[in-house]
Structure 1
Amino acid sequence: MSRATGLGVLLLLAVGGACGTFFVQQVTAPRIEREQRAIQARELLQILPAESYDNQPLDHPLPLDNVPLNHSTLLGGYRASRNGQASAVLLRSQVSGYGGPIELLIAIAADGKLLGSKPLRHAETPGLGARIAERPSAWLQGFIGKSLEDPGDAGWGLKKDHGQFDQMAGATITSRAVIEGIHDSLRYFDAHREQLLGNPAHE
């Protein structure tokens, strides 16, 4: 085999390999993207009771983008629905914790009651503020079922601040920030209920 022939064969093999790789990527990319989206959905939606929605909330984003509130910023959100009727909203909130920004996901039912909350990102101190990321977090679960009226504006604070909630031991700043973020989100929901719930049947 001449050198030219050998180079030609190598070139053909290289082109064939590149084409094969491209074909495999094109075939598998949609499936990989679907699986990654399903993982993301499970991660984000686990604070919503499964029976409370039958749509894909992540496909129904809310028109929120860095909305400044009293103690937090709303980064975005999603609408959940069941049988064509809005059943809950998920709000992404950012507050300032002890170690830096804390991004929270806060689920609020259509009746204004808190369904759950969880941190998405944080840089809090391990063993102290970082315990908000424990699963399940007994402290965060203590807010489920609360609303703007229960315990009322004055009650949404730490007991040391004359509110009604305990703090995580050794994590006053983190606890205060999370409570303020949840309270801000409940107030925003109450003030913009119709806009947030909308009418998903016509989306």
Structure 2
Amino acid sequence: MLEARIIRVAAILTLFAILGSGLVTFTYQITAPHIAANERATLLRTLNALISQDQYDNDLFNDFIWVQNEDLLGTNQPVTLYRARQAEQPVAVLLTPVAPDGYNGAIRLLVGINYNGTLLGVRVISHQETPGLGDYIETRRSNWILDFKGRSLTNPSESGWRVKRDGGVFDQVTGATITPRAVVKAVHKALLFYQQQRNALFNKDNPSS
């Protein structure tokens, strides 16, 4: 009797496991397209915060390549780079480098660069900096990140690509110097990467083509 009861309980648990797994799979299949669509819309909003839709006429979201350069892009993983074009001519790139040396870890950035090498702007995609202190790199907390717009490798000069405490031109908040120092360095390196690779970036094949 005991053995039969154990078998019945095991069978019931197995049935529940199968049903539960099926329900999870079904739910994922239903919600996955909506999640993907929401992620796409969020990314496009972020991209268009740096480059307006009247500046390009290609499918910005799908005109991308993966690039790698651990020294200049802050990670040994492939970095996504989106290419903006107007009448098939290159307009700008938007790439997602990493500032690996934030106060509490890596800071993921979105850096927009005009074809001529000037910055469209910079936004923070994700970070783990201290709330109320290092998180002023977010636009919802302050305008600090907006100071990058219009900058280039010659504006300021190389020595100026530092926070003011280190002799550069970029502001920092007292007690939170590590965070902006990491962002400034990452943006500067992204500009160096673009300068070195500009023509190749627009000629490289899209991995989805």
Q: Same fold (TM over 0.5)?
A: yes
- Whichever residue aligns with residue 77 of structure 1, its letter is L
1:68 paired with 2:70, answer yes
Q: Which of the numbers 38, 41, 47 marks the counterpart of 1:38?
A: 41
1:165 paired with 2:170, answer yes
Aligned partner of 1:94 in structure 2 is 98
The one-character-per-residue Cα deviations of 1:79-128 (angstroms, maximum 9, x if unpaired) are 11122111110111111200111101100000100001111110000011
CA distance in 2, matches of 1:32, 1:70: 32
What's the CA shift for 1:132?
1.1
Could you list the runs of 5+ residues in structure 2 that have no partner in the other structure?
A: 1-21
Could you list the runs of 5+ residues in structure 1 that have no partner in the other structure?
A: 1-17
8 Å Cα contact 1:88/1:197 also seen in 2: no
What's the CA shift for 1:194?
0.6
1:146 paired with 2:148, answer no
8 Å Cα contact 1:110/1:197 also seen in 2: no
CA distance in 2, matches of 1:90, 1:149: 20
CA distance in 2, matches of 1:184, 1:156: 10
Q: Which structure 2 residues correspond to residues 3-82 of structure 1 after superposition, within 5 A?
A: 33-65=36-68, 67-69=69-71, 72-73=74-75, 75-82=79-86
Q: CA RMSD in A?
A: 2.8
Q: Which structure 2 residues correspond to residues 111-130 of structure 1 after superposition, within 5 A?
A: 111-130=116-135
SS at match of 1:41: helix
Q: 1:192 to 1:137 in 2, by over 3 A?
A: farther
- Whichever residue aligns with residue 173 of structure 1, its letter is I
Could you tell me the TM-score, scaled by structure 1's length? 0.76
CA distance in 2, matches of 1:123, 1:173: 13
CA distance in 2, matches of 1:111, 1:41: 23
The one-character-per-residue Cα deviations of 1:28-65 (angstroms, maximum 9, x if unpaired) are 87576445423332234322233222222221122314
Q: Give % identity.
A: 39
